[in-house]
Structure 1
Amino acid sequence: MASVLFDLDGTLADTAPDLWQTLVVLQQEQGLTPLPFEAVRNHVSHGSGAMVRLGFPGIDTTHFDALVARFLEIYAENLHVHSRLFDGMDRLLDDIEASGLSWGVVTNKPGWLTDPLLKSMGLYDRAATVISGDTTAERKPHPLPLLFACEQAGVSPEACVYVGDAERDIAAGRAAGMRTLIAAYGYIDPAQTPNTWGADDFVASPPEIFDKGVRPLLERWGQTPL
């Protein structure tokens, strides 16, 4: 059996609108003019700390920790307001399942945010595995979360493809021995150089994941693609 594993933010789901809105509320609480969505979207995959630094440049350590805590508090109350699957992802998941493959999520997002979000989106019970940033002793770019996902899904790493939109995703997937795809439609900021990450390929949209990720797995393991 083979499996397709996804990063969450910027790969499986478009969560940027809710994360941006969280930053808007936080900046307004602190008396600042909120940043526009376009200035925030491609920084979402870097985590809550990076979002706070973006919204509050030069913030000192004491205030930084307090603002991160408040950011997470606001976000936890608004996990699934505007977040949704990327266009074509729902059909891709259906096609993966119809082909006899499983799929799962491996994210650095903590479980207390990951699980309720996926449940609200109706995805949690469909996934063969959900690995969050606090599930294992290591986080991406370490391969341990991906290897643990394989154990839970009952597949070998070489029978998996991992799709992500950050360098740590590709590093983790390569170290785990998986085929790796860069979600070029995700949150990649201009300072990043994804062509140097060493991925097996790029996908411009979720439907391309089938041809560049799922189909090679099916052919490798002697199954007939849809």
Structure 2
Amino acid sequence: MTRKETVVREHLDALLFDLDGTVLDTARDFEQVLNLQLKAHHLPPVDYQKLCGVVSSGARAMVALGFGIDEDDEKFEVLRQEFLDLYGQHLCSASQLYPGMQEVLNWARREQLPLAIVTNKPSAFTLPLLERLGLGHYFGSVVCPDHVSHAKPSPEPILLAATQLAVRPQRCLYIGDHLRDVEAGRAAGMITVGCRYGYLVAGEKIEDWQADYLISEAHELIPLCEKLATAEAIEALNQ
């Protein structure tokens, strides 16, 4: 390091994030793409709030919602690929950082706290999206499902990111908006943070995930990290 470590950096090694619903609000892009696809098939548009409830479950869930079919339908795979092709064409039309997330990224840089993205979004979409938004330089590691044998909720991608950052998992936070994020982070031995502001499944209670901490807005990560920046706090969580 080029300057003396801060108290935060002495006791926290890194922050690792899910992408959609945690760092970026991408739902409007998915709404646009799915509705374009539905219109081409002479079907009515999808309800935005219902769509938000399945965004974290990926393209399969969004196609199933829009077309009212399940994965056993003979047309499903063709429609899923059509959806992905359209998404690639309209990537980053309306995606943006959640309020307060830019503040978190800048704060982490000042604290020299390494950052990573660990997402179930394929790298073919993740890397261009981060590049177009000018965010790639913030993250020392970006791990996508095509980089590992098992995606989240397996801890494999999170542990790979920790290895790439050369940090200790037990001194890291993993932040996400889905139960699988908390499960993966816990299995990796990290401190887990659930995001109330993300794409929660309708009727699901985030308290049931048993994350170590819950936040309602992105900027709450800063005081949380400062709170955790004591050896006693970290040791208590790791017991």
- TM-score range (shorter-chain normalised) is over 0.9
Partners of 2:168 and 2:86 lie apart in 1 by 38
**What is the match of residue 22 of structure 1?**
33
**What is the match of residue 97 of structure 1?**
109
Secondary structure of 2:45 counterpart? coil
Partners of 2:228 and 2:89 lie apart in 1 by 39
Superposition TM-score, scaled by structure 1 size:
0.93
Corresponding residue to 2:172 among 160, 164, 188: 160
Deviations 1:104-156 (A, max 9, x none): 10000011111100111111122010001111111000001000000111101
Q: Note closer, same or farther for the CA distance 1:182–1:82 as it changes in structure 2 (3 Å cut).
A: same
Please tell me whether the aligned partners of residues 182 and 199 of structure 1 are also in contact (alpha carbons under 8 angstroms).
yes
**What is the match of residue 147 of structure 1?**
159
**What is the match of residue 202 of structure 2?**
190
Please tell me whether the aligned partners of residues 16 and 172 of structure 2 are also in contact (alpha carbons under 8 angstroms).
yes
In structure 1, the gaps of 5 or more residues are none
Superposition TM-score, scaled by structure 2 size:
0.89
Corresponding residue to 1:123 among 135, 145, 154: 135
Amino acid at match of 2:177: D
Shift of 1:40: 1.2
Deviations 1:3-50 (A, max 9, x none): 101100000000000011111011111110101322212221110000
Q: Please state if 1:114 is matched with 2:148.
A: no
Please tell me whether the aligned partners of residues 162 and 180 of structure 1 are also in contact (alpha carbons under 8 angstroms).
yes
Deviations 1:176-222 (A, max 9, x none): 0000011100000223232111200110000111122x224533399
Aligned-residue sequence identity (percent) comes to 37
Alignment root-mean-square deviation, CA: 1.5
Q: Please state if 1:13 is matched with 2:36.
A: no
Please tell me whether the aligned partners of residues 42 and 186 of structure 1 are also in contact (alpha carbons under 8 angstroms).
no
Q: Please state if 1:81 is matched with 2:123.
A: no
Partners of 1:58 and 1:16 lie apart in 2 by 21
Deviations 1:38-68 (A, max 9, x none): 2212221110000000101135522110010
**What is the match of residue 219 of structure 2?**
207
Amino acid at match of 1:65: E
Q: Note closer, same or farther for the CA distance 1:148–1:186 as it changes in structure 2 (3 Å cut).
A: same
Corresponding residue to 1:175 among 187, 190, 196: 187
Partners of 2:230 and 2:90 lie apart in 1 by 41
Greater displacement, 14-23 / 187-196: 187-196
Greater displacement, 39-48 / 58-67: 58-67
Q: Note closer, same or farther for the CA distance 1:132–1:74 as it changes in structure 2 (3 Å cut).
A: same
Matches within 5 A, 1:55-70: 55-59=66-70, 60-70=72-82
Shift of 1:97: 1.2
Partners of 2:80 and 2:175 lie apart in 1 by 27
Please tell me whether the aligned partners of residues 109 and 138 of structure 2 are also in contact (alpha carbons under 8 angstroms).
no
Secondary structure of 1:61 counterpart? coil
**What is the match of residue 147 of structure 2?**
135
Amino acid at match of 1:143: P
Q: Please state if 1:4 is matched with 2:23.
A: no
